[in-house]
Amino acid sequence: MKILYGLIYLMDPVMHFWYIFLPCCLIAAVVSHHFMKKHEKLWSLLCGVPMLVYAVFLIRGHYSGDIGRTVYRYAAFGIVALLIMLLGLAVYMKRSFKAYTVMTSLFSVVILLLNIVSIWAIYLEPNVTDCSHLGWTESFEGAVDALEKYYVLNDWKEIDHEKIREELIPKVREAEKNNDEDAYIYALYELKYEFADGHVAVRGDIPARQRALAKYAGNDYGFSMFRTKDGEIIAILVDDNSDCYAQGIRNGTVITGWNGVPIEEAAAEVKCIDWQYEFQTIENIRIAQPIFLAGLGGDKVSVTCIDASGKEKTAELSSEGDYIHRRTKALSILFATDVTGTQNYSTSMLTDNVGYLRITEEEYSQDQFFITKCTLSGYSEEIYNDLNTRLGEMKAQGMDRLIIDVRNNDGGNGYESRTVASMFTDDPVPYYLALPVNGEYKVVTGSKAIETQGTWKDLPVVVLINGQTCSAGEEIPNYLKNSENVTIMGNTTTWGDVQGTGGVAVLTDSKYEIHFPITPTVGEDGLPTVDTKADRKSRLAPDYMIEYSKEEVVKLFDDPKADMVLEETIDHINKQ
């Protein structure tokens, strides 16, 4: 019952109304029948009131531009209202009051419970704020209001909603005045950026979002930039046919200024906003800022660099097109997206003694019964048995150490990360259902200890992460970070966000939506497990950070098919 209460508690007021209104109507109908036996016609008519209320609600409360959402969220309530109306009709037609009352009650309970499960387990939208009937500015204001009321980490991250309103609402108002959809979309992404939370997401019209962010990525001047481990910002991905190449900029050229501003100062002002890649932690933002800066300028930009003779000079460069393609290429190489696309939960031997487990997402099965069962227990015996068997087979082949690769992991189900992590540690692997109550996180229930925990606790393990290791994928390194046999390793920190999703603000005509977390993921101390605080500093930094010299940076971006991170990880684990 605690879990059921929690699931309903986190829903929006409209859902609360229906879950209270309809059962009360049914109870009132049953009770009032005893007193209205002499007025059964009137009683039968009153049984149609819930259906009338439902019809009026649909007329006023449907989602503009999205009939599908209206159906899957509210159809169950219409069915229950219809059942109550049919109860009145049956009694009017002299059918058995008791029999039809029992049937109506049973069917209503089942339908409402199934609706709760489907809203949470299938659609993941228990809390929806409908701003679909409003214009851009009003719907944006409604989204900010919803975030202020329901976003689960407002206090933890010290979100300044008034500052957000002051800075972004005028931009949206100007975009609406000029009918500038690109500016409107970018303002939505700026709103998302303020929360430093990858689960705060902009959804809807993919081509339009790609177009807008491509526009705001800026102009291509023939190269991108990256910071070395020595702190120098150097040119990468230089186009041999570009003007910058003709003016002496090569891969590895040190860049010292951008439009007359020292390069570090210019990079520090950049917001890393992208359609595909996420940047929440200050560590990952700092790594990415030079890449984003390389497109920011007008038709012309002044670039100060150190030339081949060691002297500082300034090149005046003209735009050669859109920068989005070069920026996307740089980010895809940084995060090795071309070389980490192995099948989910795949295992193999990398060398004679190094085993490899690749997890691309915590979605071992899409079967809803399997997901519901494992979610309630917080553990999956099926996943444990499968992996334990395969690890045993690799051990028989000579495996004496293991790399668990969760780079670019899309996240998924928390019970999966808990199951995997428990195999490699004796440390607690907590799994709690909590609710946000008055700025604190109240644990409703916690899962029991795992009997099979620590099966492979003596095996040296490296968990390989990057800046796109997200959500449930981050829980694996988080659970294992204090284990003596485990090293967390990567060329960036993780996403920095593990909270549950479930909140949605539907904007004008349902074309765009803001999704956000409403359920907390907490540890034994009752605090959020991974998510950054207001300072955006990572709380899950690698034990071993892979950084690059100038020569290594040039090599990294010159050969995108090579997995330098994995190569260094193999060298490192063999030295343990």
Same domain, 368 and 463: yes
Which has the higher per-residue pLDDT, 437 or 170?
170
What does the pLDDT read at residue 333?
96
Confidence band for 550, pLDDT divided at 50, 70 and 90: very high
pLDDT at residue 143 is higher than 90:
yes
Same domain, 316 and 383: no
Q: What DSSP string runs through 292-320? A: HHTT-SSSEEEEEEE-TTS-EEEEEEE--
- Residue 414: inside a domain, yes or no? yes
- Residue 207: inside a domain, yes or no? no
What does the pLDDT read at residue 360?
97
Confidence band for 94, pLDDT divided at 50, 70 and 90: confident
Q: Residue 182's CB: how many other CB atoms inside 10 A?
A: 16
Contact, 520 vs 441, CB < 8 A?
yes
**Residues of the chain above pLDDT 70, percent:** 100
Same domain, 77 and 37: yes
Same domain, 447 and 389: yes
Name residue, tokens 């684990």.
573
What does the pLDDT read at residue 444?
78
| CB-neighbour burial class of residue 166 (10 A; exposed 0-12, middle 13-18, buried 19+) | exposed
Residue 540 corresponds to which amino acid? L
Q: Which of 304, 312, 238 has the alpha carbon at shortest distance from 554?
A: 238
Helix 13-35, helix 2-9: angle, nearest 10: 120
pTM of the entire structure? Answer: 0.93
Q: Please give the tally of structural domains in the chain.
A: 3
Chain centre to alpha carbon of residue 34: 53
Q: Which of 83, 107, 105, 86 has the alpha carbon at shortest distance from 95?
A: 86
User: pLDDT by residue (tens digit) across 244-282?
Assistant: 999 999 999 999 999 999 999 999 999 999 999 999 999
**Residues of the chain above pLDDT 90, percent:** 82
Which has the higher per-residue pLDDT, 341 or 156?
156
What does the pLDDT read at residue 38?
81
- Residue 195: inside a domain, yes or no? no
Dihedral angle over CA of 411, 364, 434, 5, nearest 10: 130
Compute the average pLDDT of residues 166-173: 98
Residue 111's SS3 state is helix
What does the pLDDT read at residue 521?
87
What does the pLDDT read at residue 326?
98
- Residue 45: inside a domain, yes or no? yes
Query: What count of residues does the chain have?
Result: 576
Q: Please, what is the average pLDDT of the chain? A: 94
Same domain, 483 and 545: yes
User: pLDDT by residue (tens digit) across 514-527?
Assistant: 999 998 888 888 88
Please say which residue of 97, 123, 149 terminates a domain. 123
Same domain, 435 and 546: yes
Contact, 249 vs 305, CB < 8 A?
yes
d(CA 376, CA 447): 8
Name residue, tokens 């037609």.
93
Q: Which of 291, 138, 323 has the alpha carbon at shortest distance from 221?
A: 323
CA atoms lying within 13 Å on the CB side of residue 522: 22
pLDDT at residue 433 is higher than 80:
no
- Residue 513: inside a domain, yes or no? no
What does the pLDDT read at residue 369?
83
Window from 250-259, 332-341, 387-396 with minimum mean pLDDT: 332-341
Same domain, 318 and 390: no
CATH of the domain at 545: 3.90.226.10
Same domain, 35 and 106: yes
Confidence band for 436, pLDDT divided at 50, 70 and 90: confident
pLDDT at residue 378 is higher than 90:
no
Residue 500's SS3 state is strand
Confidence band for 1, pLDDT divided at 50, 70 and 90: low
Compute the average pLDDT of residues 146-151: 97
What does the pLDDT read at residue 375?
82
What does the pLDDT read at residue 112?
96
CATH of the domain at 283: 2.30.42.10
What does the pLDDT read at residue 482?
92
Q: Which of 179, 171, 196, 210 has the alpha carbon at shortest distance from 508?
A: 179
Please say which residue of 91, 107, 123 terminates a domain. 123
* C-alpha dist (Å) from residue 12 to 17, 119, 130, 503, 567: 9, 12, 10, 9, 49
Confidence band for 102, pLDDT divided at 50, 70 and 90: very high
- Residue 9: inside a domain, yes or no? yes
pLDDT at residue 92 is higher than 90:
no
- Domain with 461, as residue range(s), is 346-494+530-575
Same domain, 233 and 328: yes
Same domain, 413 and 554: yes
* C-alpha dist (Å) from residue 374 to 413, 418, 471: 9, 11, 18
What does the pLDDT read at residue 532?
94
Same domain, 471 and 381: yes
* Structure tokens belonging to residue 538: 């990572």
Same domain, 403 and 541: yes
d(CA 77, CA 71): 10
Please say which residue of 78, 105, 123 terminates a domain. 123
- Residue 140: inside a domain, yes or no? no
- Residue 542: inside a domain, yes or no? yes
What does the pLDDT read at residue 291?
98
Residue 121's SS3 state is helix
